[in-house]
Every structure is written in C-alpha cells, then in structure tokens.
Structure 1
Amino acid sequence: MMIKDMERLLYRRQFVIGTRYMERSGWQRIQLDQELFLSVHPDLDVIQSNRHGFQLIVLGYMIDPYHPEWSNEEILNDIHHKCTSFDQLLVGVEHCGGRWILIYQDEAEIKLLTDACGMRQVFYSVQPDGVWCASQASTLASLLGAELDDNEELQTFVQSVEYRAMEQLWPGDGSIYKEIKHLTPNHFLDVRKGTITRYWPLSKLEPIGVEEAVEGAVEILKGSLRAIANRSRVMLPVTAGLDSRILLAASKDVSDEVHYYIALHSGLSENATDVKVPAALFTALGKTFHIHPALDKVDEEFVRINRQSTQLRDLPKSQIFYQHYLHAEERINISGNYSEIAREVYYDYHPNRKVDGRFLSRNIKLGEHAYVRQCYEEWLDPIRSYEEKFGIRLLTLFEWEQLYGRWGAIHAAEQDIAIEEFSPFNNRKLLVTLLSVKHDYGTRNHLYRKMIMQMWPETLGAPINPLPLHKFLRHCGKEVLRGSLYYGYQMLKAISGQGIRKRKEGTT
C-alpha cells in the first residue's frame, strides 16, 4: 500500500522548543521570547491564553471530567481565570485529564510541565545557546548533533537481555544520548535556566473511606469518558483484565458511541483468554465486540517513518499501530494505562526490606546493572523521607515516575503516527483519590469492583483474568502465603510501630 502524506506522518504530533524554528513545512510557529522559538506539528493542538500578566500555552488536549461539554479553550480559560500565579496553576490543573504539555510564561520566567503521568513526553538539553526541548530524544539529537553516550556502564545495560526483555524501559531521567534528559512526571522545567524542580506531592495524603473514594473516582471516570466521546469518535480495547473492565463499566452512558475491540497480532491469537472472555461478555451484554484480525505484513515505509520519528521498538504489539493507521478512521484510542498506579501494583511485605537502587532494579527486572542502580539511587536520594512526610509509598512513586512515566509514555508516542490516545487514569485528582484509601491486603481490587458495581454491574458477568486450574491453585497458594505474610506483618507493625512497604500484586 502507498503511504499517504509521508511528510505529515514524520514527527506527527510532536513539538520542538529551541533557539531556532524547526524547518518543516506546515508546522505552527510561536515566538516565546527573543531567544526561544516553539515549533508545533499541524496535528498537535495549540491553545493559548493571556491574562493576569502571564501567558499559558497548551500543546495537546485537556479533559475536565466535571465539565465534559467543555472544549480545550474553555478548560484553559477557566484555569487561567482562577489562577493568578504559577503556584496556583500547579493546583488548578490537578483535575485535568488528557495528554498535554503546559507552558507558563511571564516577563521573567518560562516554565513547562506535563500531564500527571508524563504521557505527553518532554526531552530537554541545556546547550551553550540555550535550552532545547522536544517530544523525542532522537529528534533533539538530530537537531543538535548530539552523540550517543559512550559511558561503559550505560552501554553494558543497553546491550543487555534485561533491557530488551523489559521493552527498553529506561531508568532515571537520562537517555542514550549525551546531555539529553527526560522530564520526569511531577516535576517542571525552567526553560530559561534549564533546571528541574519537583512540585508534587505538595501535602500529606489525607486518608478517606472506601465509599468516598468510590463516589469521587466514579464521577471522574464517567465524566472523562463522556468528555472524550464529546470530542471525537472513540475506540476502547477490552481484554480479560481489570483495568479495561473498569473502563468498560465507566463507558456505559456512552456505550452506543464506543467502538469496542481487541486487535490480534503475532503475540495474541483468537483463542487467547484476552479475546474469548470479552467476546463472551459482550454477547451477554448485547453489545458489539470487534475482533480486528492480525495483519499479514506491516508496510516497511510506515515502519521506517515511525522509527525516524520515535523510539520505535520491535514488538509484536507494534503491528497494531499499522492496523490503527489503516482502519481507526481518526478515532481516539482509550487506554487503561496508569490504572496500575492507583491499584498500587508494587507491594512488599518484607518488614526489613530496604528500598534502594539495587532493590528497585531487581524488582523491575532490570537485573544488577551498575548504571540502573545508580540512576535509581539518584532518583531516591531526595525523596527517602516522603513516605513519612507525605504518606505516599516510595514504590508507588517509583511506579508512577520511573515505570509508567518512562515505559508507559513510549507506547503512546509510538502510536502518534497513527492515532491519538486517551488514558482516563492519567489524572492526578483520580490517582490521589484512590491512593488516599488505606491499603490493606486486597483493598485495591475490592475498591475497583465496588466502582464497577456502581457504574455497570453486568460487566462483572465474566471472570477477570481467569486462570487454568493448575495455575489457579498455584495462584491461591501464593495469595494465602502473601496474605499470611501481610497479616503477620500487621502484628509485627503493631508491636514495633514500623510501616508497610509494597509487594508485587496482580496485573491486568
């Protein structure tokens, strides 16, 4: 097949900030000051607002779950009307979902931050002529002539089995290029100075009850699904997992407007549990479920363009991007990513477990590489007191900032050539609401089931992640052991006064 409009597909939905414009046809150009220039791909929305002595620029799209009828412009104007300073702005965008970059500019400063989980990525580099930013490290490297980092420990890691097995998960805030870094979620970049500042958490999480959390989370989820359906035609992949099930439940009010599907590829056949379970569930619900067949071949020119534009990985699921390019018909894809943060998937019952760089590297299955340990130690050093100070566990922040803030954002960027993505759980207000519920053994799955029961109870008519008998028995044995460890540790904690840390809970 002939690839249409190759010029438009290259660097699709990307941006560049630097001391000169990106020389590409059709890109929008905005001069930030005498030394900094913003270039934006035509398929990346740009919204601007001026009042209170400063300018706000949004790249991408925002969703307000409490006002699902509002447009990007109405959301930004409301935020700007209520916020008269940068500090107020940080609080004023907490409820905003979507996938966006926000630029704040006054006479003295230009500051930049991302959506809650960094789903709209920012890479940056401090150069002699000023600070440069872009959607991809490779784009910056090409513009700046940056060289690959030849650090021996880094190269050992990049060539390792663990790096490939974990789908090129990158530790810390660096990249494979010298002097090019990745903006970590919960931090903002001072674009003039090239410095990074952590801005969240701001205060201690106040515990709330399950019922309060369910009510608040349901309002945000349903409002988010209604809002994105108001904006565009939408599609939602549904598997046998919990995260896609809760989004299915949240979509009840807009279910007639959603294209529900599962995409087959070389790693997923029609006989897989993730296909058979939702197919049976939709039959029972009386709704249409689409099984997109696997493609015999992916166009090589499409792959080449995407590889030039992004950190494209060679994975079976990457075949889905070409399916979306051919058949998505300008829909927005709804994803369950970042839900794992709210469920606090990482949990450790060991009462004497020390969370350090070595533990994090092994826990995330990146092995014993010196480069990985050092990156995680550098991330940990400033926040070791955060569990006590802010009531948020280190492993939850790790999952938020170092797993989904890195690996989770890559997938959306790779899809940009074909389709825009929306993740309702990429919302700070929603994550904080769910994380504010006390975490006991099994609490998170119980919390999710209560939300589903309130939104669309019939969607629980099919099992969630069913296992064959031998795996089910093994799973039960492990859970009995883990539960025993948990309650045993509760007794130890009551005696010693020590806190809980996390273990690896179930995945979707």
Structure 2
Amino acid sequence: MHGHHYNQFLISATEREVAPGFEATKHGGWILYKNGDLPLLLLQTLDGKPLGCILGLIIDTQVSVLFKGPVIIPILSSDSCAAKEMAIHQFLDRVGGRFVCIIADGDLQRLYLDAAGSLSCVYSNQHGIMASTPELILNEKSYYSDMDHDLVAKLDVSFHGWFPGGVTPHKSISRLLPNHYLDLRSWRQVRHWPESKIEMTTSAEWTASKIADNIKASIRAVTNARKAYLPVTAGRDSRMLLACAKAELDRTKLVIFVDIKENVDQYIVRKLESIFGLDVDYLPIAYASLEERDQWYYEVGHCVGGRISEIYPTLRKLDHKRIIMPGFGGEVGRAYYWSAKDTRSTEITPEELLRRFHLPPHPVLRRALRGWLAEVSELLDTFQLLDLAYIEHRLGAWGGPQTYGQVKFTDHIYPMLHRAIFKDILSLPPEYKAGNCLPVDIIRKEWPELLNVPFNKYPGIKGVIEKGKKIRRLPSKISRIIRGY
C-alpha cells in the first residue's frame, strides 16, 4: 500500500484485510471500513428502523445545518420499496455536502453519491467491493497487472487527462458516476436523475436568486459548525462565492496560493482586499517532491493528474480544523463544453464529446460514452446534455477523485455542488449561460460593489499588454493540448 488512505473507505459483504487505521461497522449485510474522521451517520425510518448509513459531511440546506445525529427519512419500515425509493431520492435532492449514502433495506441494496460525486467511489463486481480508490480493492501486484497501460498512456494523465464515462485505469474497476446509484444486487449503475425533461425557467433572475440562496445556505451550514476557508482568485466563481459568504466572513478566512512572480489572481485579490478590508491568507506555493507526487497518484487511484499533483503540499499550511470551500461547479453555469455553432438539437456523438473534453477517441472511452449518451439524449437538449456531461464526467470523474490527495490536510465541502442548484442551472436559457450572466447576477444581488473590480484581467494598459502575451502563447498551448492524439 502506497497511499495514506486518510478519509477513505471500503465496503464489502465479507470481512477484508485492510491497512492499519481503518475502523469497521456493519450495516445490514455490508461491512463499512473507514479511515480518518469522516462522520458516520445512521439512516433510519420514522419508526426507528435502520435503513442504512451516510458517510461524510452532509448539509440540510433547508435549515442550514450539518447533520450530526441519526438521519430520519420520512417513511415507515412497512412502506413499499417504491415509496422508500421516492423518499430517498427526495431527500438526496434537498441535501448538499460530500458524502456517500448506503441503503441496506430488504430489496433496496444501493450506494448513492452526493450530487457531484465529490466523495467519489469506485467498485469491482469481480471483487465484490466498493471503495474510494482502486488501491483499496487491488493488491500491489494486481494494481499494475489490471491496469490498461495503453489507455493510461493515451490519456496522458500526468499532463491533463482523466477517465470519463465510469472508466478507470483498471480493467476490473469502474467509477460510479454522479446521479446514478450502484445496485448492489446486480452491481449495475442505474440513473436516478434526471428522470424527466427539465423545462426552461420563465425568469432567469428569479432562478439565479434561488441558486444564490442555496449557496448561502451551504456556506452558513459550514460556518455554523466550524470555521472555514474560502479560496479566492480573479475569476467569476470565487467572486460569486465571496458575495454569497458576505454574512459569514467573521468565521471565514480567504486564501490564495501565490507564486514568486505575481499573476493576475494575486493582483485582483490584493485589490479586493484593500477596497473591502478582507482577511486574506497568501500561501506561498509548496511544490511536491517526486516521492510526494508518486504517493498522490496512488491516493487518487492514478485517475487524474495535472498541476494540483505538483502544488497540493501547499495545503499543509492550512488549519486542519477548518473546512475549505472551493468553487468547483460554477462552470456548469458558464457553457463550458459548448460550441458557438451549437443549437438545442446539435447531435453529440461519443467522438464529439471526447473532442470537447480534449481527450483522445480511444475505443474504451467511446464505448462508455455511447452508453451514457443513450441514457440522456431523449431527456435533454444539447445544451443541457453538455452541462450534465460537465457534472458527471468532469466534476464526478476529475474533481472528486483528486480530493483524496488533499483531504489529509483539511476537509472539503463545495457549496455549488447541490442537485437543486444543478437543476436550476439546467433550466436557465442558453443565451443567459453563454453570456456568463449567472455569477454576475448573483454578485449583483448579494454584494454588488464587488463588480467594480474586473474579472481575470489587469485594468488599463497593463491589461492590454497581458492580453497580447496570452495571444502570443496560444499556439504553444494548443500544441500541448493536442499532442499525442
């Protein structure tokens, strides 16, 4: 075993040999092994019967609290499976956080994720195990022999690649995607959201206000329980979260990673700090050694790489008692995978989806995405489909796994990752999202003065000079993205 496995888990129907530090509890016919201090909450019916458990940090955004005790689902133990399923789905639609939910009740034997799979889970039908990462399922020898080395090389994970479509680097292991549950009787993924078409909102401004209220509820729940960190940059998403956190700044410290040479993020954050009197920690970037990078890749299952694998030791400087609240998820509302030529009926093929992911058209990925497209093509228009692709394949298969390389330093909760927020975003008009209107409208509602500072650019002549530098660097950037195809 190479990773530390802090705040990781393994679930099996039989006893397993696990690394030191794991604690075991039994839930129905399943044994849950967990390492670290992730909360474990029992799940019960109204009449007090066990229904399963929830592992992780879970937020009730209706009352802005982190759940602490047993979680009660409003059903009776004698209710039908259909009634229980409906109640479970309604419950999961109204909560945020970073968690997995295990249902162990008669014919309902399932594992659910949070809305974006931020406490990510892989599984193996062959081994009968669910776990945080492949290393907890495979021994050292099979970890390498089971790896699809051709696919790993083609994806170039150390540069920018990752594994969409439920695929992992290992042939016998799959990833559970967000909005799906794992049926533990058949070991199949089953989609549970969206179940029907998502209609366009009649008022984008009203919908933006609802989204802001949900973000604020998550931030308030976190800061009511513990002090927090909020990462800030020059971008729209972090500014939007800052606006939503305005009332909680007495318990929230802003934080930014800084390099030796000042960049636009540092420049804009210093502007915000000086104008609004913000409390900002400037953390000098600490770079990982080769040994630390190697360990990080094991902790994330060799599923994702990139710059975070180089700079994650910077998080050591944080107070581990605080929760960090990154801005993951804002891209869902900003037309991230759209093309200027798209219409509501543009056909999206597996090959086209991979092109937009900047990933090669490998047959394993094409096959996985063909199955995914068959699930949603009749439910969603092209714009909604591409936004859902970001939620499930980018957040679920790229964002979630990488968190395991960082949580040993501090707990993570992502205020944007909530199914009610995603449903509202998918209901927004295409032109509204393409125009980056959502973050601006939320900032205007919550803290309009923040709009006086520009996003992602220097003001004046310095901004013109920096834009020219970016244009000159563009050809080399494009060549790096397409190399190896």
TM-score range, shorter chain: 0.7 to 0.9
Secondary structure of the 2:11 match is strand
Q: TM-score, normalised by structure 2?
A: 0.85
Residue from 300, 324, 330 that aligns with 1:333: 324
Amino acid at match of 1:362: R
Q: How far apart, in 2, do the equivalents of 1:362 and 1:229 lie?
A: 40
* 1:471-490 equivalence runs, <5 A: none
Q: How far apart, in 1, do the equivalents of 2:308 and 2:267 lie?
A: 18
In the alignment, structure 2 segments of 5+ residues that lack a partner are 472-485
What is the CA distance between 1:232 and its match in structure 2?
1.5
Partner of 1:186: 179
Residue from 144, 154, 167 that aligns with 1:174: 167
Q: TM-score, normalised by structure 1?
A: 0.81
* 1:72-151 equivalence runs, <5 A: 72-73=68-69, 76-77=71-72, 85-127=84-126, 131-142=128-139, 145=142, 148-149=145-146
Root-mean-square deviation over aligned CA pairs: 3.0
Deviations for 1:390-411, whole angstroms, at most 9, x for unmatched residues? x972212211111221111122
What is the CA distance between 1:77 and its match in structure 2?
2.6
Residue from 36, 57, 62 that aligns with 1:61: 57
Matched, 1:429 2:420: yes
Amino acid at match of 1:415: Q
Partner of 1:218: 212
Q: How far apart, in 2, do the equivalents of 1:273 and 1:294 lie?
A: 16
* 1:262-273 equivalence runs, <5 A: 262-264=256-258, 268-273=259-264
Residue from 6, 24, 31 that aligns with 1:12: 6
Partner of 1:310: 300
Secondary structure of the 1:469 match is helix
What is the CA distance between 1:462 and its match in structure 2?
1.1
What is the CA distance between 1:263 and its match in structure 2?
1.2
**CA shift in 2, pair 1:299/1:469, >3 Å:** closer
Q: How far apart, in 2, do the equivalents of 1:222 and 1:329 lie?
A: 23
Amino acid at match of 1:236: L
Among the aligned pairs, what percent are the same residue?
Answer: 24
What is the CA distance between 1:422 and its match in structure 2?
1.0
Secondary structure of the 2:138 match is helix
Deviations for 1:294-330, whole angstroms, at most 9, x for unmatched residues? 23x6467755654443336664433543222243332
Q: How far apart, in 2, do the equivalents of 1:451 and 1:457 lie?
A: 9
In the alignment, structure 1 segments of 5+ residues that lack a partner are 1-5, 477-508
Partner of 1:506: none
Q: 305-314 or 286-295, which moves further after superposition?
A: 305-314
Deviations for 1:154-213, whole angstroms, at most 9, x for unmatched residues? 5333213754432x3113212122211100111101123212211110222232212321
Deviations for 1:56-88, whole angstroms, at most 9, x for unmatched residues? 3000010122212453326x2366689960222
Deviations for 1:364-392, whole angstroms, at most 9, x for unmatched residues? 1113433333332232233221225xx97
Q: Is the 8 A contact 1:54 1:104 kept in 2?
A: no
Q: How far apart, in 2, do the equivalents of 1:165 and 1:144 lie?
A: 25
Matched, 1:31 2:26: yes
Amino acid at match of 1:179: S
**CA shift in 2, pair 1:364/1:17, >3 Å:** same
Q: How far apart, in 1, do the equivalents of 2:365 and 2:450 lie?
A: 41
Q: How far apart, in 1, do the equivalents of 2:66 and 2:159 lie?
A: 42
Partner of 2:45: 51
What is the CA distance between 1:261 and its match in structure 2?
1.3
* 1:450-489 equivalence runs, <5 A: 450-466=441-457, 468-469=463-464
Q: Is the 8 A contact 2:335 2:433 kept in 1?
A: no
Partner of 2:189: 196
* 1:390-405 equivalence runs, <5 A: 393-405=384-396
Deviations for 1:116-145, whole angstroms, at most 9, x for unmatched residues? 011111111113xx6210000222122894
**CA shift in 2, pair 1:415/1:79, >3 Å:** farther
What is the CA distance between 1:434 and its match in structure 2?
2.5
What is the CA distance between 1:230 and its match in structure 2?
1.3
Secondary structure of the 2:205 match is helix
Secondary structure of the 1:229 match is helix
Q: How far apart, in 2, do the equivalents of 1:440 and 1:138 lie?
A: 44
Q: How far apart, in 2, do the equivalents of 1:31 and 1:310 lie?
A: 26
Partner of 1:244: 238
Q: How far apart, in 1, do the equivalents of 2:375 and 2:142 lie?
A: 32
Secondary structure of the 1:165 match is coil
Partner of 2:251: 257
**CA shift in 2, pair 1:281/1:156, >3 Å:** same
Deviations for 1:253-285, whole angstroms, at most 9, x for unmatched residues? 011211111113xxx444100111111111100
May I ask how many residue pairs the two structures share in their alignment? Answer: 456
Q: How far apart, in 2, do the equivalents of 1:280 and 1:392 lie?
A: 35
Amino acid at match of 2:245: S
Secondary structure of the 1:102 match is strand
Deviations for 1:201-260, whole angstroms, at most 9, x for unmatched residues? 022223221232122112111111111111222111100000000000011001121111
Q: How far apart, in 2, do the equivalents of 1:120 and 1:422 lie?
A: 10
Partner of 2:374: 381
Partner of 1:481: none
Q: Is the 8 A contact 1:65 1:219 kept in 2?
A: no
Q: 82-91 or 118-127, which moves further after superposition?
A: 82-91
